[in-house]
Structure 1
């Protein structure tokens, strides 16, 4: 099967429905489980504010040629080890996993970050127990810096791999 063709489209208010579709026990098993409706609405507002505030970018992943929204990818700003960095995350709906969509979307988002991001480093912190997301990092050009204790969601620590891209190189 040839690699999936995708396009990234900026996050809009209409993407709340997509955010709800990825908020399932299966999709969120490596990050503490599904969020409450209140948490989901807060996340959606943050995503809408990323671009206007300059804190990051959020995208829906659109499968081509169908034009179907099949996931999310984006990055936001955080402090990590005393440095202001960007952190990337992604979700691909179960019926579309295993086709290279997440890796293609992560590569496209890294390239967008190279053009737009305010900070030098872009990190991803997938759980060490999530081989698929760790593979996406490798395929998207991130370098593995090692394991770390990572807090996500707030109040929940997990052992993660710390992957990084230097956006200036």
Structure 2
């Protein structure tokens, strides 16, 4: 069964018991001195049919992305952030644009909606979720059905 926005009901149901979003709003962003700043951040969410999901991690990621989507909508309509949204934003001096590596998939794509051709070599956008067991990967832009891997996939990937 799907909700009006096309989100499966069971995905919506996992958001209810998670207090991570309210904790994040209450405590604010992590800084370099907080104990949680030393915790290794997950690069992507793993899911498998026979392994318990880390519901807190899913809930935190959902809340983070919902906040980003809300900001994108507001800026697209009003051409500026919501009043007061940047009041407590950190100041970044001597800043510059840079790029950093993020998890992604590389392989030979067939049936890609924007990159036509068969067995076309591609590099995907940021990988958000991976299930090697189900043969599925979700990037920033779409799901991928995973065929044969180039090499065995470890659980630590």
TM-score, normalization by structure 1: 0.26
Structure with higher RCO (Cα < 8 A, 6+ apart): 1
Bigger helix share: 1
Bigger strand share: 1
Q: Which has the larger radius of gyration?
A: 2
